[in-house]
Amino acid sequence: MRSRSPRPGGAPTDLSHDEIQQLFQTFDTDGDHKVTPDELQIGLFRLGHSTVPGFVHHIFEQADTDGDGGIDIHEFKIFWEHHNAQLKRIFDMADVASTGEITTVDLERVMRNEGIKAQTKNELTMMMKKVDKDGNGGVSYNEFREYFMFTPLTNTNEILKFWQRPALVGDDGRMKEIVVPLNSSAAGSATSLTTVTNAADSDDMGEDGTATAYGNGKIGYVVCKFIDSGAFGEVSLVECQQTGMSYALKRFSQEDADVLAQYLEEREFFNALNSRPEALKRRSKLVQMYDSFISNDMSCLLLSYVPGGNLESWIENRVFNEESALFYFAEAAAAVHEIHTCCFVHRDIKPSQFLLEGNGRLKLCDFGSCVRVSEDGLVRAKVQIGTTDYMSPEVIRARRRTQPFPSNTDWWSLGIVLYQMLFGYLPFESTNEAITQQLILGHETTLRLSDPNVLPDGLSDDCKDLILGLLTETSQRLSYEDITVHPALSGVSECFSETETSHEPVSYIASLQVRDAPAISPKRLQRQRSAVGLPLRGRPPPRTNFSIAPTK
């Protein structure tokens, strides 16, 4: 066989202790000297490696030798050195001609020796293209190690089968990995990966006008229409190809580490939610997750579809009377409490997060902002997120000082939602985010519920007391138990029931005759805006009355 000289730069390089330390810090994002499974997955993504949960799980088990739930620098170094030695042995065996790089001829021969089905010349070229980063036509050890280091594969046969996985080439010439289901046995096996219908990368329609199909390797879902999009993903209505049932498919791009982190947060919450007893899940006021998988280079969550739109779209065109606003508030409060019973806090409660079911009840959605509450009842988040208009004073302070905050912040946000339903506008509003924060921090003087020019006609004292009990400092804020027995909510106690009732909320949604929006007090706006040089806004456009047909 014709031998060739090793190409320049092809000689293997070992990492120094400092380089391994630096690599470890790439994974240890919170600086606690331990790498958690989520940090491992995000770190692998940032380094361009496979983030299939089955692989991540096996890598973590291999590295976490003391089983304490975290990989320290000593364990990380041992894993690196041990796996590096294994890969070097496999590489040397695959480098049949001993040229310092693996060629297509080498690859074909070693696959034959391992009893793996022979590949066509084109397939071998595709395999080489996945690992040969500099396009030189051969795979050096450095390229080989870079591609296979962070996998749980430890022998030649596994490496070769993983290497020959089917792949697609996008229009940009980049390789696109085929779907790996996250919740099936295939996720943990390098030899049983499955494919699904291919389609245009992330568009809902292909070039031929056909619908894009997504799937988990066993079941396919066809996109019917686009629903919504946000900072971290987009949601579409999909139909199961096998059953014809409709679902909401939430897709997260894998091109951004922050988006991947958001996906992992949301999936962690759903896993906690789905571990509850079946009876609790049946009467849940939260959107449910039925599946999670990777498809068409997108991380996907398959969720229950709620057809009635979100509460924000209703508020934009109408003001609720007190009876209907309190009903929806009670529905929302029960949903928020459900999150809290799972030891999570939502952190981004706002009208757009509540969806209306066909029977008029609410479902809470979008849990990417959820974080676990610490044992001391405080919330410790690496990144403070949320929508400023609905942000509590303690969260704003914590954001500025990078400190934990109490877990009852969601009740402040829900108080803002109640205010917005009743008044038609936000209590603390400005065109400048910094000014909005100042208005919230000064809520004791900027929130006026005693001015008759501000209050909607007929607003009860009990309802005002409820708003004030929510929009106050954390130590004085109403708890869920306080809310359930508050006099303002005595007529909607069914929303807090621990058992499902066959009674639909007809008395609240069958015919909601809603008045026009009240005039916004110029004095109130002047107090909030003129001092900071903002123009005085007029009253919002007229709101239309509306009615909903009775539920059957």
Taking residues 54-72, what's their average pLDDT? 81
Measure the CA–CA gap between 193 and 294, rounded to whole angstroms. Answer: 12
The mean pLDDT value for 375-380 works out to 84
What topology does CATH give the domain 17-164? Answer: Recoverin; domain 1 (1.10.238)
Position of tokens 């789905």? Answer: 274
How many beta carbons lie within 10 A of that of residue 109, not counting itself?
Answer: 15
Mean pLDDT of 141-156: 78
pLDDT for 97 equals 86
Give the H or E element holding residue 19. Answer: helix 17-27
* Range among 44-48, 176-180, 421-425 with highest mean pLDDT value: 421-425
* Best-predicted range by mean pLDDT (91-100, 254-263, 358-367, 368-377): 91-100
CB 192 within 8 A of CB 185: yes
- Residues in a beta bridge with 139: 102
Q: Tokens for 236?
A: 């579409």
The model's confidence at residue 31, banded by pLDDT at 50, 70 and 90, is: confident
> Residue 242 pLDDT > 70, yes or no?
no
Sign of CA dihedral 90, 94, 99, 101: negative
Which of 165, 221, 229 has the alpha carbon at shortest distance from 197? 221
Give the C-alpha separation, 343 to 339, whole Å: 7
Q: Write out pLDDT tens, residues 497-537.
A: 754 443 333 233 333 332 332 333 333 334 433 333 333 33
Count other Cβ atoms within 10 Å, centred on residue 215: 23
- Between CA 45 and CA 48, with CA 46 as vertex, the angle to 5 degrees is 65
Lowest mean pLDDT among 111-125, 158-172, 277-291, 343-357: 158-172
pTM of the model: 0.56
Higher pLDDT, 40 or 531: 40
| Integer Cα distance of 12 and 145 in angstroms | 9
141, two tokens? 């050890």
Give the burial class of 240: count Cβ atoms within 10 A of its Cβ; 0-12 exposed, 13-18 middle, 19 or more buried. Answer: middle
Candidates 506, 497, 494; CA nearest to 548 is: 506
Query: If you average pLDDT over residues 60-79, what whole number do you get?
Result: 87
Angle, helices 73-94/17-27, rounded to nearest 10 degrees: 110
Determine the 3-state secondary structure of 197 from DSSP. coil
pLDDT of residue 101: 92
**Residue 81, pLDDT score:** 84
Q: Please give the residue that has the higher pLDDT: either 348 or 515.
A: 348
Is the pLDDT at 198 greater than 70, yes or no? no
Exposed/middle/buried for residue 287 (C-beta within 10 Å: 0-12, 13-18, 19+): buried
Query: CA dist 375 to 109, 379, 407, Å?
Result: 58, 9, 11
Q: Report the relative pairing of strands 344-345 and 289-295 from DSSP bridges.
A: unpaired
The whole-angstrom separation of Cα 445 and Cα 407 is 24
The correct answer on CATH 3.50.50.60 for the domain covering 168-305 is: no
DSSP run (H or E) holding 101: strand 101-102
Q: How confident is the model at residue 354 (pLDDT cuts 50, 70, 90)?
A: very high
- The fraction of the chain above a pLDDT of 70, given in percent, is 70
Q: What is the pLDDT of residue 46?
A: 64
Please determine, for residue 208, whether its predicted confidence score (pLDDT) is greater than 70.
no
**pLDDT over 50 (residue 538):** no
Tell me which residue has tokens 């009240």.
518
Is residue 80's pLDDT more than 90? no
pLDDT at 513: 32
Quote the pLDDT of residue 49: 62
Eight-state DSSP code of residue 478? -
Question: Does domain 311-532 correspond to CATH entry 1.10.10.10?
Answer: no
In sequence order, which residues have a C-beta less than 8 Å from that of residue 107 and are 6 or more positions away? 94, 124, 127, 128
Asked if residue 332 lies in contact with residue 472, where contact means CB atoms within 8 angstroms, the answer is no
> What does the pLDDT look like over 264-283, one tens digit per residue?
888 888 888 877 665 555 66
- Residue by residue, DSSP assigns 20-65 as HHHHHHHH-TT-SS-B-HHHHHHHHHHTT----HHHHHHHHHHH-T
More confident position, 177 or 366: 366
Which residues make Cβ contacts (< 8 Å) with residue 434, sequence separation at least 6?
Answer: none
Lowest mean pLDDT among 8-22, 32-46, 268-282, 289-303: 8-22
Question: How do residues 443-494 score in pLDDT, each as one tens digit?
Answer: 999 987 877 777 887 889 999 999 999 999 999 999 999 999 999 999 888 8
Averaged pLDDT, 391-403? 85
Q: Give domain limits for the chain.
A: 17-164, 168-305, 311-532
**So what's the pLDDT on residue 73?**
92
Amino acid at 268: E
Q: Which residue has the tokens 């730069």?
A: 9
The one-letter code for the residue type at 208 is D
Q: Which of 152-156, 258-262, 517-521 has the lowest mean pLDDT?
A: 517-521
Tens of pLDDT, residue by residue over 294-343, are: 776 788 888 888 887 889 988 887 778 899 899 999 999 999 999 998 88
